Chains A and B, each alone.
Chain A
Amino acid sequence: MIEIKNITKSYYPGGVEAKVLKGISFTIKDGEFVAIMGPSGSGKSTIMHILGALDSPSSGEYFLDGKDVSKFSDDELADIRKNKIGFVFQAFNLLPRATVVRNVSLPLIYAGIPKKEREERAIKALRSAGFDESRFYNLSNQLSGGQMQRVAIARALVNSPSLILADEPTGNLDTKTGDIVLGTFQRLNAEGKTVVLITHEPYVAEHAERIIHIKDGSVLEDKKNENKRVIKL
């Protein structure tokens, strides 16, 4: 469960305060599928960084599974990312010369999981991301964009996080493969995973159950998505 209360974030480029987030509050329950939508410059990326424990807010509180992580140190934040968050990036960010299984098991190395179990869990995660079994030991730079994003999803799943955080996951994909990725998120959500999708595209956001609209660092609108698009894989 995610609870953020009156979060602000300011940057000081050139010594002048720039308020990117001006007091944002919302709650995401376990098992929800939420899209955070807004145009570029709205502050949605900053929200993603704070939700993903990559950054700390200037003020306000962020409770993740009951713990206030807003005041955590760098190393404590790294632990939160390791154990509770799974990231899916627009640019996939796979290790190019490594096999698919190796890419997926990478987070488990930092979690100190023994080697044999790493591989088992990586294969399990790849299966639940719907990745083609025959390509498990291909190098990741031999894959298509859609396949790469599924590897990235599997990597996000592998340490069974509380929250899957996807930042423009379809941004580098064509509509068809983008739909497959969105369908994968829907299926994972149906299996009980909490998914937060950050996007500027209304079409992508409409695949979520709930849309939080951000504009100029504030929540413009936060409501249930009445006409959810459902993708059947």
Chain B
Amino acid sequence: MDYSDLLQETTFALLSNKVRSGLTILGIVIGIGSVIAMIAIGQGAQNSIQASIQSIGSNLIVVMPGSQRSGVVSAGRGSATTLTQADADAIASDISGVAVAPDITKRYQVIVPGQNTNTQVIGTTPEYVQIRKYDIAEGSFITSDQVRSMARVAVIGPTTASDLFGDGVDPIGKIVRINGIDFNIIGITVSKGSSGFLNQDDFLIIPITTAQHLLAGVDYVSTISIQAPDQNSMADIQQQITDLLLARHRISNPQSADFSVMNQADIVSTASSVTNTFTILLASVAGISLIVGGIGIMNMMLTTVTERTREIGLRKAIGAKKRDINLQFLAEAILLTFAGGFLGIVLGFLLSLLISNFMGMATQVSLFSILLAFGVSAIIGIVFGYYPAQRASKLNPIEALRYE
């Protein structure tokens, strides 16, 4: 009996009892469908979280100041003022392939005639635009000449622009006043949108020298952003930065460093592990229904074997071997679960479409979940079809033929 015959015999047997076959695979359809939909929801959530983290900048490493200590009293994380422009320059010159942008960020009251707002003013260098993935909608970003000459120019975020000037007004060329100093707006960025409670469009960017000397009157920097050339070199570069800054700050024990180096991948992986747990939870609940579906298949196959005892006896009488009978019933179970798996994938697709359209959740049906569904349904067919097929193949032909 070759495989095309086997397939034909199998489909024939299943189609001759359509209603029962249909009802039996329903369990598998629902199981596979919900596994696919749940994985799609999890994957969608993970993607949107990752995308919003990625929009801060890719391959980003941030050096933040640590806590300032006077004696045993710690002033809390981020309070140290030990990071300097020189540290940033050292990172840029000693570590190859990186882009470095130090910044000093403080909140100020920003005033235009008839309007004012409180926003964060980021004093930084021209590299910042590339590292933090800002796009300039109109005008230009600050230049290194402007940094060197402490120019009083500012690039404005779209939210700040509409707060100060109203919607639809071109802010370029307008003057804003911060701490009594006038700044000329030279550019506006493209909106990044808000990620949760964090509005990424509410800021002013000015040259770092201007921010340090004219506004704050200090010479430290609040953070240093570093862009690694690729994902793989992140860990290595992070280590190099740590070593370099420890040496520059003359700290021998890494535990007492006055800065911390954070990796964007760490944030992504933390977020991913949360959504992964969530996905596994959803999928395992759905997986339980798959097992129930599999038991349904086994139940039906056992009934079928009993019902078709005489047929099995006849097949043996006309020369079918144990193996032939075994294969036939196993194939019936596998074909059932495959059909169920296929319909389940369609159902899962529809479910995830419905969820993303009507509930506004991002979903993504991955190839992985489809392959998983097919694999699982095949395994269910084999596992739950094995015992009934064994029973069929072991029937004694004489007794099977006499069975009433």
Contact = CB atoms under 8 A, between A and B. Distances in A.
B2 A106 contact: no
B322 A93 contact: no
B331 to A, nearest CB: 14
Nearest to B318: A107
B164 to A, nearest CB: 80
Interface string B201-239: 000000000000000000000000000000000000000
26 contacts: A52-B317, A54-B316, A54-B317, A54-B397, A54-B398, A55-B398, A74-B322, A78-B316, A78-B322, A81-B318, A81-B319, A82-B318, A87-B317, A89-B314, A89-B401, A91-B310, A93-B311, A95-B311, A97-B16, A98-B12, A106-B318, A107-B318, A109-B5, A109-B9, A110-B318, A115-B5
Contact of A93 (B16, B314, B320, B398): B314
B313 interface: yes
Given A81-B318, A155-B318, 15 more contacts: A54-B316, A54-B398, A74-B322, A75-B322, A81-B316, A81-B319, A89-B314, A93-B317, A95-B311, A97-B16, A106-B315, A109-B1, A109-B5, A110-B1, A112-B1
A93 B313 contact: yes
Interface string A53-93: 01100000000000000000011001101110001010101
Interface string B370-404: 00000000000000000000000000011001000
B324 interface: yes
A233 interface: no
A101 to B, nearest CB: 13
Contact of A83 (B313, B315, B319, B322): B319
B92 to A, nearest CB: 76
Contact of B317 (A75, A81, A83, A98): A81
Contact of B319 (A49, A55, A78, A95): A78
Interface residues of B, number: 23
A155 B314 CA distance: 11
A104 B12 CA distance: 16
Interface residues of A, number: 27
A93 B2 contact: no
A160 to B, nearest CB: 13
Interface string B321-348: 1111000000000000000000000000
A110 B1 CA distance: 5
Interface string B1-32: 11001000100100010000000000000000
Interface in B276-319: 310-311, 313-319
Contacts of B323: 75
A55 B314 CA distance: 14
A94 B398 CA distance: 16
B396 to A, nearest CB: 9
Contacts of A49: 398
Contacts of A91: 310
Interface string A92-132: 01010110000000110111100100000000000000000
Nearest to A165: B317
Contacts of B5: 109, 115
B324 A110 contact: yes
Contacts of A106: 315, 318
A134 to B, nearest CB: 23
A98 B321 CA distance: 21
Nearest to A79: B319
A83 to B, nearest CB: 7
Contacts of B398: 49, 54-55
A95 B324 CA distance: 17
A107 B315 CA distance: 8
Contacts of B324: 110
B159 to A, nearest CB: 71
Nearest to A155: B318
Nearest to A84: B319
Contact of A87 (B9, B318, B322): B318
A197 to B, nearest CB: 17
A78 B321 contact: yes
B319 A110 contact: yes
Q: Which residue, B310, B315, B318, B324, has most C-beta atoms of chain A within 10 A?
A: B318
B326 to A, nearest CB: 12
A106 B320 CA distance: 10
B320 to A, nearest CB: 5
Name the residue in A49, A81, A83 with the highest tally of chain B Cβ atoms < 10 Å from its Cβ.
Answer: A81
Contact of B320 (A78, A87, A89, A97): A78
